Copies of this chain bind each other. A is one copy, B any other.
């Protein structure tokens, strides 16, 4: 995913182009790791001192719905990162300190034999510390 792809997706789905949206996307494009709403606020604050959490969460929610960002929950807090795939389905190793990720290509669902559950989703994440944060 990159900024102009993301802007196209927004346009296709009837969302307007705003300078704030572009700056959100640039942040995610530069920082290819999991960020919190607060991280986003701090990055934007110099340019938009009055930016509200409402705007951040509303946009992150739109981005997530459209597949522009991926969302996960770490330690009770939502984290978001630029969707890192045209490569399709994948999982992540995540640094609990800085949010950096490494992709894991293998998906454990391939070994699952169906039972009476109707499966809608799954999560496979590996947590730890990246080289810099150890």
Mask, A95-134, CB within 8 Å of B = 1, is: 1100000101010110110011111111111111111001
Given known contacts A76-B73, A123-B123, A124-B123, A129 and B117 CB-to-CB distance under 8 angstroms: yes
**How many copies of this chain does the complex contain?**
2
What residues of chain B lie closer than 8 Å to A112, measured between beta carbons?
104, 106, 126
What's the tally of chain A residues with a CB closer than 8 Å to chain B? 31
A93 in the interface, Cβ–Cβ < 8 Å? yes
What residues of chain B lie closer than 8 Å to A108, measured between beta carbons?
106, 108, 111, 124
Which residues of A are in contact with B by a Cβ distance under 8 Å? 73, 76, 78, 93, 95-96, 102, 104, 106, 108-109, 111-112, 115-131, 134
